Amino acid sequence: MFEECTKVDALVEILGRRLGPPPQVAVVLGSGWKELASDLLENTEGLDLRGLDNWMCPKVEGHGADLLIGDLKDAPEGKARRVLLCSGRVHSYEGYEAAEIVRGVRALVNWGASHVLLLNAAGSLTTDRPAGSLMPFSDHINFGLPNPVRCGENCGHGAQFVNLVDMYDPAWRAGLLEQQPHLQEGVYVGMKGPSYETPAEVRMVAKMGGDAVGMSTIPEAIAAHALGAKVMAISLLTNMAAGIEGSNPSHEEVLETATANAQAAADVLRSALLAATV
């Protein structure tokens, strides 16, 4: 995997050359988050990722393929921060290995981002979190997503026994919840996908202690944490998971709910950016 390391290093070099100083906070926008996110920044510069060697470009509808870097608009005194928005991600279910899924995040952290904010869409496992709710991760259960610190995926290093206690930075999350007290944190369950879960699987993961279910984010969170970055993740709950209240999820429903809740998502994103202790 020496080759993987070379690819990450090459990306770091390109990012620095094309976009200048690194961001303090790097954000990966999943389904539904990108509509209004760019409005949160000013003095922006963009980079089209298509055609950039070694960057894994998203193909799933709802994910873009560009980077936007800039300053958080209207930041209160002492809260100025340089932020990078990555408009999409690649997933395990598209056939990628862990190292490929996390390559972009590794490059962003090695370039200098001290904080990584991972956003996604997920299905709700609890009736007190209706579609449209936003859920900061308190923790996760990995139900089959590939682990990027496994030997062979770990960017030239061997297997790494990374401690995942408090991987989703409690202080950063507390700062978000202070600004957005209506948010309810919870446990994200990561499934392989791309089929949605069966109702029986949904009942199982809810009983195991999950609050939301999705198909992404965990590999990037582990990779960023292993490199020493502070990590926060937030799900936009776009639907009730299969079988809950008769739910029969579809990608159309996910995209529709995401669009309908884009403003609330952007408000929470801004609060999360302000809460980063950069």
Is the CB of 120 or the CB of 147 nearer to ligand HPA?
Answer: 120
Please give the single-letter amino acid code of residue 253: E
Look up residue 196 and give its two tokens: 């949605």
Min dist CB 249 to ligand HPA, Å, is: 5
Active site residue 38: no
- Half-sphere exposure at residue 204, Cβ-oriented, CA atoms within 13 angstroms: 8
DSSP characters over 146-192: PPTTSTTTSTTS-------TT-B-HHHHHHHHHH-TT---EEEEEE-
Distances (CA, A) of 117 to 5, 18, 26, 86, 145: 23, 22, 6, 10, 19
Q: Which stretch binds ligand HPA (CB under 6 A): 7-15, 100-108, 130-138, 207-215?
A: 207-215
Which position among 41, 129, 196, 273 is part of the footprint of ligand HPA (CB under 6 A)? 196
- 241 touches ligand HPA by CB under 6 A: yes
Active site residue 215: yes
In three-state secondary structure terms, 126 is coil
Which residue is nearest to ligand HPA, using beta carbons? Answer: 123
Residues in the chain, total: 278
Active site residue 251: yes
Which H or E element spans position 234?
Answer: strand 230-240
Q: Which stretch binds ligand HPA (CB under 6 A): 14-22, 56-64, 97-105, 233-241?
A: 233-241
Q: Token match 């259960």: residue?
A: 141
CA–CA dist 93, 65 (Å, integer)? 18
Look up residue 83 and give its two tokens: 């932020």
- 239 touches ligand HPA by CB under 6 A: yes
- 219 touches ligand HPA by CB under 6 A: no
Q: Which stretch binds ligand HPA (CB under 6 A): 85-93, 119-127, 159-167, 259-267?
A: 119-127
Which position among 4, 197, 211, 220 is part of the footprint of ligand HPA (CB under 6 A)? 197
- 134 touches ligand HPA by CB under 6 A: no
Is the CB of 30 or the CB of 70 nearer to ligand HPA?
Answer: 30
Which residues form the catalytic set?
31, 63, 91, 93-94, 121, 215-216, 239, 251
